[in-house]
Structure 1
Amino acid sequence: MKIIHEIYDIKEQIKKWKKEGLSIGFVPTMGFLHEGHASLIKTASKENDKVIVSVFVNPLQFGPTEDYSDYPRDIDHDSKICRENGASLIFNPSPKTMYGDKNYTHVNVDTLTNKLCGFSRPGHFQGVCTVITKFFNILSPDKAYFGEKDAQQLAVIKRMVKDLNFDIEIIGCPIIREKDGLAKSSRNTYLDNKGRQAALVLNKSLKSAHNLLESGEKDLSKVKKLIKNNIEKEPLATIDYIEIVDSLTLQPVYKIEDPILVAIAVYINNKVRLIDNFTFKIKQVK
């Protein structure tokens, strides 16, 4: 398995694969891979002849006070995960390779980015959409794989692909969790022992909300209140947002008609920001 750093080199490799009629799957990551990424790579390797994993900590999607400099990086570890799960190569460009000395062009998706993480992290999705557009243009994949933990990102990318007529199929893959329910995240490594235990409040709160919806509760304000009360019982947790939105448009909903997304973002120890979510739809009575 090769690691390629330059755009010209990876384009040449892709030309060879395309001439051979091989299908290409793409898994975009910021590295420091875990079992969640491994599941994406494994799924992509089952569905495509070749799989490219990008390892690129994208500066455009970090705010000035966020953890770009501290974000964990370990290309040797990432290579091992990629190799074990069927990746064909890693694309590991530098920021200068991707953006030159100055990037003047950006890609925006309106409306879907106004709430949730888009509200909490201004400019974040402009950075995400810009880098993913560049990757799509450079790599020309047939399919691209994204985790459902980043539900807003998945919805935004699907819309961008539709609006910009990319001939790429976007595949959402299930959230991978630790045995105790914590969603896998590269930022989990920031947590100390107490913080790691406190972080379990995210999944526990969402489970309680899911159970309430399953029991037939249709008042979504009560669902939000339940989540809020549960999180506030944990002294190390600070709520960034609790939102219930339409799973496609990401706009607020107040009653359940179409499938909904229940999404939360919580700071642990006032510094480690974690997200989690679930989707819910009313079961149709036959």
Structure 2
Amino acid sequence: MVWSLCAIADVEKAIVEALDKQYADVVAPLKENLAPKKFGLKYVQKLTKRSVCAYTVPDELAILLNSMKRMLDVLRPKIETQFKSWGSCIPDGGNTAPGERLSEVTVMLRTKFRTYLQAVDEKLTENTKLQSATKLKKILQDSKETVGESDIRGRMQPLKDQLTNTINHLHTVFETRVFVAICRGYWDRIGQDVLSFLENRKENRSWYKGSQIAVSILDDTFASQIQQLLGNALLEKDLDPPRSITEVRSMLCRDIPNHKGNTYYY
């Protein structure tokens, strides 16, 4: 039993390493988003040299993330069930070291999977900043001088179109739960930009009306697209607003308690 569990852990680790090696080229563009940013001179120079081409999730990366998700959701529970079955046949529960080794591999896989998702969402968010018409903070900045709601909706349309096209593409390459995780992380990341904008203007409520309209458009875009694309596969929690959006809503409407959203998507 001990030998079998050690072998399983080694095989799982080898599979993850093989996947990383096989898909190294498609993971490479994510590397700059995996580590915390240090805004020194070299990093600023790197930003100025960055390509203006929008990032599109390649099919190969989707295969990698889908495979990692299946390992976590399908393969892992089967192994754990078998491990418990074997352990029940041994009076003292057997040697716990193999189980700990399996857990270490699981933690490594889950961490790597979550990190890749976050890097993808960061890349997709960067796409919205490549053109003036889709820069959310600029849209919010200009909303102060905007006369009516229709004008703000008009300014938001290019960004809405970009988000819609991105979500549609994600649905074509990712399996359902990975698609939901990335979409909700993307939604949360966009919400963080709104939150950052408002936090720097807490004493000036003249920005709030435009921000309320913009947030409602963002929420409707993500929620409606997720609902439409998933159909019967939709879970109720899939449409819950992510944490940053909940905080933005609380800031815009002070009489609503600031409940922390559930970031289960990662």
Using structure 1 for the length normalisation, give the TM-score. Answer: 0.27
Q: RCO (CA 8 Å, sep 6+): is it higher in 1 or 2?
A: 2
- Rg larger for: 2
Q: Which has the higher helix share?
A: 2
TM-score normalised according to structure 2 size: 0.28
